[in-house]
Structure 1
């Protein structure tokens, strides 16, 4: 997508701004790539570090579950009613189920690994995260390429905005600035202006005063052992 088309899509009020979903998807693409590397970087027996990575992993799982449950509740039913062919909706639902299955092994291995930071358990967890990412990327690619155009055509702006509001309501208040930072980390200037423009004034002021620094500090602390930053 060219910069001009991104600007047009972010600025129009006549149809849902589906490009927002692409920006949010970047969080899941980035974190799903980082997580197995973070697990593998924990030294054998390094339980304090394992606990820190495990907390981040649980936040990721909660965020992904919230994101997908909102689609299940607020998007797929409308597309099933209005789109001329609901096979893509069935495909999205099947992919959600496949992603859920990929996370069974992840959730099983987290407490086993976290207790002792055992290298073998860590590698099992990292392998499960690798498999999860494969299923996730297939879904994100299909959703962006095939489903977002249907959302733009068949949902109203109000219906689409409700998805974003409900998602924001589910973020714990003490993590709102970190969530904003995760969105803005790889955003273009146009995208940053769009998301900050939709943030209440108090949120923008807090972001500039403390949020930006707090997010950068949290990223450095979490990713320090990787040295190379986020893999894509």
Structure 2
């Protein structure tokens, strides 16, 4: 049960963007397992590319979860009573995901230098386990916790969560991050998300961002293409 002290006049946060960000991690964790499994034995050029992509992915996922733990949950928890268990479960799942990420990293470190097929297969399986664990967590968070956020977290507090994520993203990766969010978005989501950005950011995306993201994904995915 939640408390009912939220005013009807509260401007609710745009929580849909959280699902859009989650979709990035769902897609990239799935693709990493598939792309690693496709690497030919001893193709260390590909193993280096995918190891670097994994490094950036895992840093991004860790920053995302740390932002929730340190910025979002402390704002949300004071408004909850029995539903606080849902938020505490999210924190526990974050710790479990950290363990899975560490396991993948161990396999990645063994596979990357020589790209041996037996190491590749073990790594791909660890990545598939990570993907399943992550998707179960994200599904539960969107189903159980995001409605609580929409009800109890104000627009300004929600904006602070986004600013934390922005600060954690290197400036030279901002257009890549934007492209990753927009890739699987519906036309309506894409339009609304871009409308919330400053005008210079929207112009930069149109002028250079789209091409930069396409080059990045072509390099990582090889012959696979980006929609």
State the TM-score, normalized to the length of structure 1: 0.89
| Counterpart-to-counterpart distance in 2, 1:47 and 1:83 | 51
State the Cα deviation string for residues 134-158 of structure 1 (Å, max 9, x = none).
1111110100001001001111111
| Counterpart-to-counterpart distance in 2, 1:111 and 1:98 | 20
Shift in Å, 1:103: 1.2
| Counterpart-to-counterpart distance in 2, 1:229 and 1:24 | 17
State the Cα deviation string for residues 1-48 of structure 1 (Å, max 9, x = none).
xxxxxxxxxxxx820111110111110110111001111111111111
Asked whether the 8 Å contact 2:37–2:121 carries over to 1, the reply is yes
Shift in Å, 1:74: 0.9
1:51-62 matched pairs, under 5 angstroms: 51-62=48-59
Query: What secondary structure sits across from 1:164 in the alignment?
Result: helix
Shift in Å, 1:228: 8.3
Aligned residue for 1:92?
A: 90
Aligned residue for 1:128?
A: 126
State the Cα deviation string for residues 30-83 of structure 1 (Å, max 9, x = none).
011100111111111111111011111111101100100000001122222111
1:100-139 matched pairs, under 5 angstroms: 100-139=98-137
Query: What secondary structure sits across from 2:112 in the alignment?
Result: helix
Q: Does 1:151 align with 2:154?
A: no
| Counterpart-to-counterpart distance in 2, 1:89 and 1:175 | 30
Aligned residue for 2:36?
A: 39
Shift in Å, 1:132: 0.8
| Counterpart-to-counterpart distance in 2, 1:111 and 1:134 | 21
| Counterpart-to-counterpart distance in 1, 2:90 and 2:140 | 8
| Counterpart-to-counterpart distance in 2, 1:177 and 1:75 | 24
| Counterpart-to-counterpart distance in 2, 1:120 and 1:199 | 46
Aligned residue for 1:8?
A: none
1:67-216 matched pairs, under 5 angstroms: 67-85=64-82, 86-216=84-214
After superposing on structure 2, the runs of 4+ consecutive aligned residues of structure 1 that deviate more than 3 Å are: 227-230
Aligned residue for 1:6?
A: none
Which runs of 5 or more structure 2 residues have no equivalent in the other structure? 1-9
Aligned residue for 1:26?
A: 23
Query: What secondary structure sits across from 2:40 in the alignment?
Result: coil
| Counterpart-to-counterpart distance in 1, 2:14 and 2:196 | 12
| Counterpart-to-counterpart distance in 2, 1:26 and 1:20 | 10
| Counterpart-to-counterpart distance in 2, 1:203 and 1:122 | 39
Root-mean-square deviation over aligned CA pairs: 1.8
| Counterpart-to-counterpart distance in 1, 2:161 and 2:123 | 32
